[in-house]
């Protein structure tokens, strides 16, 4: 009787372990989150597991302190805020920024389910035919709200079709739908939209650089 009971307990434990392993596998890799801190507050961004090359590169650079003291050097109201140029660290006010890089690019990881809604974290790039991303420069979409008629016009012009969820997002929270399928989207803001709005509203000068520097620092929190 005791032997039978012991066997049943072992079988139950084995079944629970198998279920836990299956659940962990189905859930995929752990979600990674990075905090981007500025004088206006902190934004928390979630990185997508569907874009592993960009996710891992961003985590690596943030962990190494690469982004600390760099600037959001290009800000266009109703469009996006861009940062990550290594030449922006301690850059004099008259210096034109945006050409700095880290010496490598990342292959494009375009995914139709990941798009340029407000708060999307995306990779900047040069106009290269492979659409390979900058190894360090990124932008966060501030965007604007679109009407269904405007989205219909963009569909006709770009030969694309927006999903029902994309239409909901672009008409309610906004975004930059004209960039879809051309730049890798690899994360999104999950906290701190008010910070994004404040940065997007700063005064800029010719070249879209803020009149007053907007510095950043990053910390991987998960």
Tokens at residue 77, please?
A: 């109201």
* pTM as predicted: 0.87
The predicted model gives 203-208 an average pLDDT of: 95
> What topology is assigned to 31-220 in CATH?
Cyclophilin (2.40.100)
Give which of 91, 86, 92, 54 is closest to 67, Cα–Cα.
86
- Residue 159 phi, psi (nearest 5): 65, 35
pLDDT of residue 4: 47
pLDDT tens string 73-115? 999 999 999 999 999 999 999 999 999 999 999 999 999 999 9
Give which of 119, 221, 203 is closest to 213, Cα–Cα.
203
Q: Would you say the C-alpha torsion 72, 210, 120, 102 has a positive or negative sign?
A: negative
219: burial class by Cβ within 10 Å (0-12, 13-18, 19+)? middle
> Three-state secondary structure along the chain?
CHHHHHHHHHHHHHHHHHHHHHHHHHHCCCCEEEEEEECCEEEEEEECCCCHHHHHHHHHHHHCCCCCCCEEEEEECCCEEEECCHHHCCCCCCCCCCCCCCCCEECCCCCCCCCCECCEEEECCCCCCCCCEECCCEEEECCECCCHHHHHHHHHHHCCCCCHHHHHHHHHCCECHHHCCCCCEEEEEEECHHHHHHHHCCCECCCCCECCCCECEEEECC
Q: Would you say the C-alpha torsion 116, 120, 122, 127 has a positive or negative sign?
A: positive
In angstroms, the CA 61 to CA 220 distance is 10
Residue 29: pLDDT band by 50, 70, 90 thresholds?
confident
The predicted model gives 131-148 an average pLDDT of: 98
Instruction: Reply yes or no on whether the pLDDT at 194 is more than 60.
Output: yes
CA angle 43, 44, 50 (to 5 degrees): 130
Instruction: Reply yes or no on whether the pLDDT at 207 is more than 60.
Output: yes
- Domain boundaries of the chain, sorted by first residue: 1-28, 31-220
Instruction: Reply yes or no on whether the pLDDT at 32 is more than 50.
Output: yes
């Amino acid at each position: 009787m005791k032997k039978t009971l012991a066997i049943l307990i072992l079988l139950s434990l084995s079944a629970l372990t198998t279920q836990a392993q299956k659940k962990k596998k189905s859930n995929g890799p752990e979600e990674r989150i990075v905090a981007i801190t500025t004088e206006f507050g902190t934004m928390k961004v979630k990185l997508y597991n569907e874009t592993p090359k960009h996710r891992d590169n961003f985590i690596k650079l943030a962990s190494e302190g690469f982004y600390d003291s760099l600037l959001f050097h290009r800000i266009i109201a109703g469009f996006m805020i861009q940062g990550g140029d290594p030449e922006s660290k301690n850059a004099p006010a008259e210096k034109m920024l945006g050409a700095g890089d880290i010496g490598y690019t990342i292959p494009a990881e375009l995914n139709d389910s990941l798009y340029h809604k407000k708060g999307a974290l995306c990779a900047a790039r040069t106009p290269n035919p492979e659409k390979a991303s900058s190894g360090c420069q990124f932008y966060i979409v501030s965007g604007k709200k679109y009407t269904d008629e405007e989205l219909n016009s963009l569909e006709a012009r770009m030969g694309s079709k927006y999903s029902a969820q994309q239409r909901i997002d672009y008409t309610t929270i906004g975004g930059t739908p004209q960039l879809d399928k051309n730049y890798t989207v690899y994360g999104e803001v999950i906290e701190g939209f008010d910070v994004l709005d404040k940065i997007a509203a700063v005064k800029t000068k010719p070249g879209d650089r803020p009149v007053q520097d907007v510095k950043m620092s990053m910390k991987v929190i998960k």
